Amino acid sequence: MFVSLMVFSLLFAGRAICGRFEEEKDEKDYALHYLTQYHYISPTRSGNHNATKAIENFQKFFDLPVTGELDEDTLYQMNKPRCGLPDVDVNGERFKRYATLGKWYKTTLKYYMTYGDDMSHAHQARIMARAFKYWSDAAPRLNFAKTNNVGAANFRISFGRRAHAGVSGERQCGHPFDGPGRVLAHAYFPSDGRIHFDNDERYTETGASSGWWFWKKESQSLLAVAVHEIGHALGLKHSNVKGSIMWPTAKKGTPTLHSDDINGIRSLYG
């Protein structure tokens, strides 16, 4: 009896250790994938390929204690819903402020949109108009108008799942979505015009969170995500200024532009 109990407890302990080992390996794999996706580990040969340095740069970007290790704060931040675009350039380091990539050389811009599953089309169209207005209020030379003619549009807004293709006639997007959570949307820099939302997310106008654990019901703010993605489509990259709309992780509630966002858009269209 004693022997069999001992064997049982040894087996059990072995399994527990194995389970924890698997979990750590999964966390490490996910973190490496994350650091590569957001360019902390560089896609170019000349950039950074050191994992510790990549973790440190990630921690600096997100204002976390810089330990160079995959600690709890770091993994927690890596699991937050966010935009799918990279955060940093080749060397992974930069000043604390906005960054830009490209611009439009005209200021009257048209957008064409298709719709997600969560709200009426009229409601989604109102939210999108409201999102564009954030940027034209900050840089009054910008004018945005909705068009039903996709061929005349500068921006093409669409919702898709996993491997997605955007509005009809658009080629397959090279960046598949990942199901509910994590990546919510992405957009292309000027003058491409594609803005893609992950249709596996649940969207409401300003997002909500209720219940807990198994019963937790969560929705993302279509308004906040749209303002952020339009920012990319106008030429703004991710900002490492916490509180800016161009910060990579998603916010709920009614968004406001930070002075960093306003400085960024005015540097392009002021």
Binding site members for Zn(2+): 83, 164, 186, 196, 228, 232, 238, 246
For tokens 């916010």, name the residue: 251
Q: At what angle do helices 51-61 and 2-37 cross, to 10 degrees?
A: 70
Among residues 39, 156, 182, 196, the one that binds Zn ion under rule CB under 5 A:
196
Phi-psi region of 166 (alpha: psi -120 to 50; beta: other; left: phi over 0): left
Closest among 164, 168, 194 to 179, alpha carbons compared:
164
Binding site: residue ranges? Answer: 83, 118, 164, 178-179, 186, 196, 198, 201, 228, 232, 238, 246
Number of residues that bind Zn ion (CB under 5 A): 4
Q: Report the site for Zn ion in 120-179 (rule: CB under 5 A).
A: 173
Give the residue ranges of the annotated binding site for Ca(2+).
118, 178-179, 198, 201
To the query of whether residue 229 is one of the catalytic residues in this protein, the response is yes
Minimum CB separation of residue 181 from Zn ion in Å reads: 16
Candidates 85, 222, 233, 245: give the one binding Zn ion (CB under 5 A).
Answer: 85
Find all residues with CB under 8 Å of 47, minimum gap 6, and list them: 39, 41, 90, 91, 92
Q: In this chain, which stretch among 5-13, 21-29, 84-92, 217-225 interacts with Zn ion, using CB under 5 A?
A: 84-92
- In order, the DSSP letters of 231-255 are HHHHTB----STTSTTSSB---SS-
Site string for Zn ion, 23-62 (x = CB under 5 A): ----------------------------------------
Backbone angles phi, psi at 267, to 5 degrees: -65, -25
Q: Does 251 bind Zn ion (CB under 5 A)?
A: no
What is the distance between the alpha carbons of residues 34 and 1, in angstroms, rounded to a whole number? 49
Near Zn ion in 62-81, by CB under 5 A: none
What are 201's two structure tokens? 């997310």
Active site residues per annotation: 229
Residues interacting with Zn ion, by CB under 5 A?
A: 83, 85, 173, 196
